[in-house]
Amino acid sequence: MDNNTHKPKITNFSIDLDEDTKKQFDDCCAHSFVKSASLMPDAHKGYVAPIGSVFRTRGVVVPSWVGYDIGCGMIACKFSYPNIVELVRSNSSKIFDLVNDSIPMGKGKIGSHGDVSNFTSRGFGVSVLKFSKREYNDDIFKFVKTQAKAHLGSLGSGNHFIEIGADSITPNPDQLWLVIHSGSRGVGHKIATHYMKSASGSDTKFEETHALDVLSKDGIEYMSVLKFGLEFALLNRLEMAYRVQDVLRDVLNDKKISFEMWVNKNHNHCVPEANYFVHRKGATPAKLNERGVIPANMRDGCFLVKGKGNEKFLQSSSHGAGRKLSRGQARREVSLEEFEKSMDGIVAPVDESRIDESPFAYKNIYDVMAAQSESVETVAHILPIINWKG
């Protein structure tokens, strides 16, 4: 599949690129089916493809480049209500506890089918019906019908989070923002594992670059079930947004409190665009005027952006600040005292188990945003009042 004349169009906007990440990117670009590629400012090492990379392929899809967390992405919702920012600040501890009770958080934590709201449940039913009319693997379809729904409304672990905050660029006491970072949970893992093994022909060495012809049986199946996984991720984040809304209604004693969805977007996917299949591994789509959310860390919040459609970036941007320290490094090098001090004034789970998610573990978000100023325009900077981590 490789040849000596293969020369894809490559751009690199990374900051503080380490050798491991560079090698991953170069190895991916070496495949002849890659027609263009770009590395985002937040790029760091992943399983196979670097986090913060974009690849346009011709005629093939690479399941390992999409990875396990299919549809990982961001939702941003705006609440408009008199004096809501101060009301939330003054009730922040109660809101923190009730959201913890309402949304399963952490590795392997899920709910039950009966926990899902009527709106999300209907959306799930529609997605399953559409999926049933396309090509599918029997084992995965059985999982979708019998187990997937219980994963709706669950956060996950690692860098997945829920955040409530206010815009620091144009402060408005009557506007509150909710931002959630999560994906398709166990659904994505099930899909990825099956098709990574199928593409590699191995049950053990499947976390490698192995492509599926999009016209092959497995290629058609993967793109079909991938579409379901991407829809499921959107529904999962939406379900969590409804649960946070319910908490705010209860705490502030007003059932009329509701949100306006600003954006709900996946940044882990493979989608057909023009004559290519665009793999975004931790990269936010940034077509002209396309809305996106770029999170920084637990302290520095999130940037709401609009894309500029810059082809040099393959119409993409970073999906966050990007890790500066590995999880192990962060646990060794960052003290709990430093972590606590950095989070002063924010209600959040600050403890030993989450030091690897402290602000010190991530690159400087302002450097990252400056490096992609030709790709996205910042329209709001949401600073956190409350933060939840899986």
Output the pTM of the full model: 0.95
- Let me know if residue 262 belongs to a domain: yes
The pLDDT score that the predictor gives to residue 5 is: 62
Asked if the model's pLDDT at residue 217 lies above 80, the reply is: yes
pLDDT over 90 percentage in the chain: 93
Show the 3-state SS of 167-194.
ECCCCCCCEEEEEEEECCCHHHHHHHHH
Cα distances from 28 to residues 20, 25, 71, 76, 162, in angstroms, run 13, 5, 21, 32, 32
With 90 as the cut, is the pLDDT of residue 362 above it? yes
Please determine, for residue 1, whether its predicted confidence score (pLDDT) is greater than 60. Answer: no
Q: Band the pLDDT of 4: cuts 50, 70, 90.
A: low
pLDDT tens sequence across 105-125: 988 788 776 689 999 999 999
Query: What is the CATH classification number for the domain harbouring 284?
Result: 3.90.1860.10
Residue 256 maps to a domain:
yes
Mean pLDDT of the chain: 95
Do the domain assignments include residue 213? yes
Write the CA distances from 187 to 152, 183, 221, 229, 257, integer angstroms: 10, 9, 15, 7, 31
Q: 210 near 62, Cβ under 8 Å?
A: yes
| Domain-located, residue 14 | yes
Segments forming the whole domain that contains residue 248: 9-59+71-324+362-389
Task: Say if 344 falls within a structural domain.
Answer: no
Please report whether residue 353 resides in a domain: no
For the chain, the residue count is 390
Please check the confidence at residue 330 and state whether its pLDDT lies above 60.
Answer: yes
Residue 374 inside a domain? The answer is yes
C-alpha separations of 107 from 67, 89, 187 in Å: 17, 29, 14
Q: Tell me what pLDDT residue 107 has.
A: 84
Rounded to an integer, the average pLDDT of 375-387 is: 99
Query: Measured between alpha carbons, how far is residue 31 from residues 8, 39, 46, 143 in Å?
Result: 9, 16, 18, 33
pLDDT greater than 70 at residue 287: yes
Over 90: is that where the pLDDT of 374 sits?
Answer: yes
Question: How many structural domains does the chain have?
Answer: 1
Give domain status of residue 264, yes or no.
yes
